[in-house]
Amino acid sequence: MKLQPIQRVEGLTKQEFTEQYIKTKTPVILKDFVQGPALEKWNYDYFKEVAGDLVVPVHGSENAHPDMVKSAPIAKMKFGDYLDLIQREPTESRLFLFNLLIEKPEIRKQLIFNKIADNILTWLPLMFFGGGGSSTRNHYDIDMSHVFLTQFHGQKRVALFPNDTSSLLYKLPYNFHGIGDMKNLDYEKYPGLKYAEGWDCTISFGETLFMPAGYWHYIQYVTGGYSVSVRALSSAKDRVTGFSNLVFTRNFDNAMRKLLKDKWYNYKVKTAFNRADRAIQKLEAENSGGQ
């Protein structure tokens, strides 16, 4: 696997950001995307004070359910107890697409975003919490939007890959995740991963990773912590693809999953491996031809 570092920048104008990163679909880390009281006020004690009694669904390891579109919650607990857990010890437990900023709008008001691009949906921020060592499997977002991911506590390691790398990442047909294990790389089982090229970074407090529409992302919590993401609408072509994914592709997969059960999953796995093998053969042929 060949991963290059991601550039860190600040002070860009909207035009500069659009020309250099939006139009070219190049990932970048912004050091000045988020401002406001949230940067100083947010911490575990504050969240426990204002929302500690909320009951939240807790998710475990996604790698335990490779056939599922997303892992089901494994437990429910008070938000304050969950925060104590991730402070106390490493854990696979995560809060996925938690709506704290909707449940507690006064917290949402403490976020101020730099309007560095058009069509940023600042009214729809999502929070993600995870324990040290937890991770999300390699995937890309079904709606094909750009994503701005800001880290507020702890550190996250993120690996990014362009969408045309899908075959090497063992993408399941009619799904938006791959079965190639990024946490425990095994090039003998998943040789395609060895050929994948992308970007790698670790984001810390106040840093925002711009993930272009359609980019694969594997995220691992280096330490326990939390982040906020907002989306931005992409090109018309990406929007049409995202609409098709949401309305047709996902529903077709759900129907086939119910109809064929394990046969459907086994077909998708076989197809993913076949596509990876063909992609490897093509790359090797290109490389040998250039020598």
pLDDT, tens digit, 9 for 90 and up, residues 185-194: 999 999 999 9
What pLDDT score was predicted for residue 145? Answer: 96
What pLDDT score was predicted for residue 11? Answer: 95
290 pLDDT above the threshold of 70: no
pLDDT, greater one: 291 or 196: 196
Residue 139: CB atoms within 10 Å:
19
User: In terms of Cα–Cα distance, which of 182, 209, 177, 226 is closest to 46?
Assistant: 226
- CATH number of the domain enclosing 198: 2.60.120.650
Domain assignment present for residue 261? The answer is: no
Domain assignment present for residue 283? The answer is: no
pLDDT digits over 191-245, tens only?
999 999 999 999 999 999 999 999 999 999 999 999 999 999 999 999 999 999 9
Domain assignment present for residue 228? The answer is: yes
Work out how many domains the chain is built from and give that number.
Answer: 1
What pLDDT score was predicted for residue 291? Answer: 53
pLDDT digits over 107-154, tens only?
999 999 998 998 999 888 999 999 999 988 899 999 999 999 999 999
97 pLDDT above the threshold of 90: no
Judge whether 77 and 55 are in contact, CB under 8 Å: yes
Domain assignment present for residue 264? The answer is: no
Domain residues for the domain of 170 are: 2-242
What is the percent of the chain where pLDDT is above 90? 80
What pLDDT score was predicted for residue 63? Answer: 67
What pLDDT score was predicted for residue 101? Answer: 86
36 pLDDT above the threshold of 80: yes
Pairing of strands 8-9, 28-30: parallel
Residue 9 structure tokens: 């920048």
What pLDDT score was predicted for residue 120? Answer: 93
Domain assignment present for residue 24? The answer is: yes
Domain assignment present for residue 279? The answer is: no
Domain assignment present for residue 95? The answer is: yes
Domain assignment present for residue 275? The answer is: no
How many angstroms separate the CA atoms of 8 and 249, rounded? 36
Residue range 88-114: average pLDDT? 88
What is the percent of the chain where pLDDT is above 70? 95
What pLDDT score was predicted for residue 123? Answer: 87
Q: Give SS3 for 189.
A: coil
Which residues have CB under 8 Å from 79's CB, separation 6+? 47, 48, 51, 52, 53, 54, 55, 56, 100
Which amino acid makes up residue 181? Answer: D
> pLDDT band at residue 7, thresholds of 50, 70 and 90?
very high
What pLDDT score was predicted for residue 287? Answer: 82
Q: Looking at the chain, how many residues does it have?
A: 291
pLDDT, greater one: 49 or 99: 49
Average pLDDT of the chain? 92
